[in-house]
Amino acid sequence: MITCTSDVQNFKTITSNGDYQVIVDASKDKGGSESGFRPQEMLEVAVASSMNIWIRMHAQKEGLPLKQVVTKVSLDRTSAPEAIFKYSVKLEGDLDEKQQKI
Check: CB of residue 89 under 8 Å from CB of residue 69.
yes
Full pLDDT tens readout for the chain, 102 residues: 999 999 999 999 999 999 999 999 999 999 999 999 999 999 999 999 999 999 999 999 999 999 999 999 999 999 889 999 999 999 999 988 888 776
Instruction: Tell me the C-alpha to C-alpha distance, in Å, between residue 8 and each of 27, 59, 65, 75, 87.
Output: 16, 44, 48, 29, 35
Question: Model's pTM, two decimal places?
Answer: 0.87
